[in-house]
Amino acid sequence: MRISFSPQRRDDALSIERTAPDRIRINGDLFNFGPMANGDVIPAGAIPCHWIIGPVERIDGEIHLTLILPHGPNPSEAVAFPYPISVTEDGPVTIPHDPKQEEPENVDA
């Protein structure tokens, strides 16, 4: 499975888990692309998931999709311009992200 990202300034979070070679769980919702044949395309907007943008395609036997990548107000270059990732194993998927910044404590001087 090949996942590309479209960065977007958002305060919500994205979690991805591959549950089988052609199945992916996005923020708890499971999507099964197993029935797609090579060359099949599901058009943008046809999948009931606001995280998936653009078409989902099977190219050379591999599912290709693009997901929104939420980020904070000052993303690093790796988050603002993420490379596509290839997911070859089942389990949680590591996505580009910036470490959560600590809120400064209010200190009376």
The verdict on residue 108 lying in a domain is: no
For residue 25, count other CB atoms closer than 10 A to its CB: 15
> What is the C-alpha separation between 72 and 74, in angstroms, rounded?
6
**Which pTM does this prediction carry?**
0.87
What is residue 76's predicted lDDT score, i.e. its pLDDT? 94
Give pLDDT, residue 106.
Answer: 64
pLDDT at 100: 75
pLDDT for 98: 87
Query: Would you state the pLDDT for residue 55?
Result: 97
Q: What does each of the 109 residues of the chain score in pLDDT, given as a tens digit?
A: 999 999 999 999 999 999 999 999 999 999 999 999 999 999 989 999 999 999 999 999 999 999 999 999 999 999 999 999 999 999 999 999 888 765 556 666 5
State residue 108's pLDDT score. 61
CA distance 96 to 14: 10
Task: Give the N- to C-terminal CA distance of the chain in Å, as an integer.
Answer: 54
Residue 107 lies in a domain: no
Report yes or no on 104 lying in a domain: no
pLDDT of residue 107: 61
Domain of 36?
A: 2-92
Does 49 fall in a domain? Answer: yes
Q: Is residue 99, in this structure, part of any structural domain at all?
A: no
- Domain count along the chain: 1
106: in domain: no
